[in-house]
């Protein structure tokens, strides 16, 4: 049954995967080039570099590949909208305790607990949808969207934590796309990324593209991206990779964390990317962390 995918479709998938891989490689090259020319550019203030423009273009290409793959994996005969089961707790009996009336810290704590247990789950939703698609990869490919981590969990039959992400634009644009990242293999590192729902947001990396709804079809296709380029860690390098200093800092801390606790990643790649994101001083600081992490690894 699973082999009923038409050859044409499979060929398209392979071609799209290849294109996407190449776009990723190009992005990597750009990041490397950026790090090399970083100091030069500082001295050449006012020079009009085309790098940001090229980078933007590459991201758009990347988004196109991602979106096309998503669309390709959707089926025609299933309802577009993914309906998550929404279960609201009976709120009629809930009480609102005013902390102002409490006299002791203990009581405040207790009231917080009460508020937590009685009110915090009113909007509780549970995903009841089949994954849109999933892929296994030893690298963690940029998909052109910005994700926000909302939880992580150790699962029963897994050696590693599973991380839960939702689209950053869930609140401002009501985008319900989600993904899970589960490391499934140690050596070589292998990650399984499972996508749920679809992006209805206009990604900042790709403002022109709004994804059409994906079907929640159970016939998710396993996409194996060939790994002709080196390891890029998943969420610590989201699509906002080079977008802002703020993100760069966040990613640096994630990167440090990776280097210290998840040493299987390609350190050289991480090093280049991190350096490309940072100022000279920060790069020096990062190098210190990097070198000490190498010492730690031995």
Partner DNA sequence: GTCATTTGACCCCC
Partner DNA sequence: GGGGGTCAAATGAC
Query: x/- contact string, 183-222, with DNA (CB under 7 A)?
Result: ----------------------------------------
Q: How far apart are CA 62 and CA 144, in angstroms?
A: 6
137: number of Cβ within 10 Å: 19
Choose which of 253, 279, 280, 292 interacts with DNA (CB under 7 A). 253
HSE value, Cβ hemisphere, 13 Å, CA-based, for 247: 16
Is 176:164 a contact under the CB 8 Å cutoff? no
Nearer to DNA, 18 or 148 (CB): 148
Contact set for DNA, span 13-32 (CB under 7 A): none
Binding segment toward DNA, per CB under 7 A, in 4-12, 30-38, 79-87, 202-210: 79-87
**Closest approach of Cβ 281 to DNA, in Å?**
12
> Is there binding between residue 279 and DNA (CB under 7 A)?
no
* Residue 109, helix vs strand vs coil: helix
**Closest approach of Cβ 253 to DNA, in Å?**
6
Q: Which two tokens stand for residue 295?
A: 């010492």
Nearer to DNA, 11 or 184 (CB): 184
DSSP assignment of 41-103, as one string? Answer: HHHSTT---SHHHHHHHHHHHHHHHHHHHHHHTS-SSS-SS---EE-----TT-----GGG--
85 DSSP β-pair partners: 126
Binding segment toward DNA, per CB under 7 A, in 15-23, 56-64, 82-90, 265-273: 82-90
Is 179:147 a contact under the CB 8 Å cutoff? yes
Choose which of 1, 105, 156, 187 interacts with DNA (CB under 7 A). 156
**Residues in contact with DNA by the rule CB under 7 A:** 84-85, 87, 89, 112-113, 115-117, 119-128, 148-153, 155-157, 162, 164, 168, 178, 180, 235, 245-246, 249-250, 252-254, 257
């Amino acid at each position: 049954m699973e082999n009923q995918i038409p050859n044409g479709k499979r060929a398209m998938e392979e071609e799209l995967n290849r294109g996407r891989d190449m776009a990723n490689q190009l992005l990597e090259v750009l990041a490397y080039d950026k790090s090399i020319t970083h100091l030069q550019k500082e001295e050449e203030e006012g020079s009009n570099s085309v790098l940001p423009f090229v980078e933007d273009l590459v991201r758009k290409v990347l988004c196109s590949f991602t979106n096309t793959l998503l669309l390709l994996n959707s089926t025609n005969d299933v309802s577009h909208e993914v309906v998550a089961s929404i279960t609201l707790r009976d709120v009629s009996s809930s009480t609102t305790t005013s902390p102002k009336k409490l006299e002791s810290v203990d009581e405040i704590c207790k009231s917080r607990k009460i508020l937590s247990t009685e009110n915090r789950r009113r909007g509780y939703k549970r995903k009841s949808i089949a994954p849109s698609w999933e892929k296994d990869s030893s690298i963690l490919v940029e998909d052109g969207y910005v994700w926000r981590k909302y939880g992580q969990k150790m699962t029963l039959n897994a050696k590693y934590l599973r991380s839960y992400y939702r689209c950053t634009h869930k609140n401002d644009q009501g985008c319900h796309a989600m993904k899970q990242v589960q490391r499934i293999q140690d050596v070589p590192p292998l990650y399984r990324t499972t996508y749920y729902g679809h992006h209805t947001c206009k990604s900042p990396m790709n403002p022109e593209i709004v994804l059409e709804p994906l079907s929640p079809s159970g016939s998710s296709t396993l996409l194996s991206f060939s790994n002709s380029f080196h390891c890029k860690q998943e969420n610590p390098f989201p699509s906002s990779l080079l977008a802002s200093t703020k993100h760069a800092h966040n990613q640096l801390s994630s990167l440090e964390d990776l280097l210290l606790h998840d040493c299987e990643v390609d350190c050289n790649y991480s090093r280049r990317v991190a350096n490309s994101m940072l100022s000279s001083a920060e790069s020096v600081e990062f190098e210190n962390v990097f070198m000490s992490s190498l010492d730690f690894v031995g």
